[in-house]
């Protein structure tokens, strides 16, 4: 369990929320930030479920593979707040949780949530769709958005547009110690990561000579995306002494 200040909490989850919005998520970053705070009280647990998503029918998704925790929760039943125990989904990372939440929001039950254009409209549609039993759920979300000035996250986040040279690629997350480190490209089953990002993570020296890239003095094959040089992580595995893990379900690259 990690107890954080509000600023630390938002700083920890905002990069993942912004990335998923750039990937095309219908959920506004301000709503997602506020909802995460409301559901967790600003505490990040090891099971990474920031929205109280229960196991439900147990159907697996690319982002939830069956892990769960049982814990106490408050529900509004018959107008009364009642404490009970329930089984909640557990996720490997915050990215897996938010993507699984999007799987839920893609249900026709949440069609109006997807269509909402403003934070106040989206928060209310989440409540009306029955995401939570609290009758004041949307009002609480909006109160947190206002209190912590989360609105600018919506206008500052634009949908992902590939750099020249990677027009047909999709954007994926790169995780280090289960935390989002940077974004990479995925094209035809091959991952490309900014060479400076992966090299500097391990204290390697990067040099450019005559449009060629050297890492610790070794020439590496790169591909240009805009003005950034990208490398296949596997091409520098032995050079940097790193271990890679590919989550083929969620399309996430882990660097250990």
Q: Which residues are catalytic?
A: 75, 100
Both tokens assigned to 203:
């204290």
Distances (CA, A) of 208 to 90, 177, 198, 234: 43, 29, 15, 20
Distances (CA, A) of 216 to 54, 200, 225: 48, 11, 22
- Measured CA to CA, the distance from residue 105 to residue 128 in angstroms comes to 13
Both tokens assigned to 37:
């705070």
Both tokens assigned to 135:
């009758």
Residue 243 exposed, middle or buried by CB count within 10 Å (0-12, 13-18, 19+): exposed
């Amino acid at each position: 369990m990690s107890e954080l200040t509000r600023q630390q909490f938002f700083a920890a989850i905002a990069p993942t929320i912004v990335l998923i919005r750039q990937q095309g998520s219908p959920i506004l970053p301000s709503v997602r930030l506020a909802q995460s705070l409301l559901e967790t009280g600003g505490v990040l647990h090891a099971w990474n479920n920031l929205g109280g998503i229960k196991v439900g029918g147990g159907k697996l998704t690319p982002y939830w593979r069956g892990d769960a925790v049982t814990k106490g929760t408050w529900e509004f039943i018959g107008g009364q707040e009642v404490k009970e125990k329930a089984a909640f989904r557990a996720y490997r990372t915050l990215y897996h949780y938010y993507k699984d939440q999007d799987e839920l929001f893609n249900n026709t039950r949440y069609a109006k949530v997807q269509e909402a254009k403003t934070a106040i409209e989206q928060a209310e549609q989440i409540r009306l769709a029955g995401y939570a039993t609290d009758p004041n759920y949307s009002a609480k979300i909006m109160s947190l958005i206002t209190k912590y000035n989360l609105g600018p996250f919506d206008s500052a986040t634009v949908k992902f547009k590939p750099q020249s040279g990677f027009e047909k690629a999709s954007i994926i997350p790169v995780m280090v110690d289960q935390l989002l480190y940077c974004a990479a490209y995925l094209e035809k089953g091959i991952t490309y990561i900014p060479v400076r990002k992966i090299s500097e993570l391990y204290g390697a020296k990067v040099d450019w000579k005559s449009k060629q890239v050297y890492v610790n003095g070794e020439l590496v094959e790169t591909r240009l995306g805009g003005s950034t040089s990208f490398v296949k992580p596997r091409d520098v595995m032995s050079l940097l002494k790193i271990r890679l893990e590919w989550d083929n379900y969620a399309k996430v690259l882990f660097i250990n």
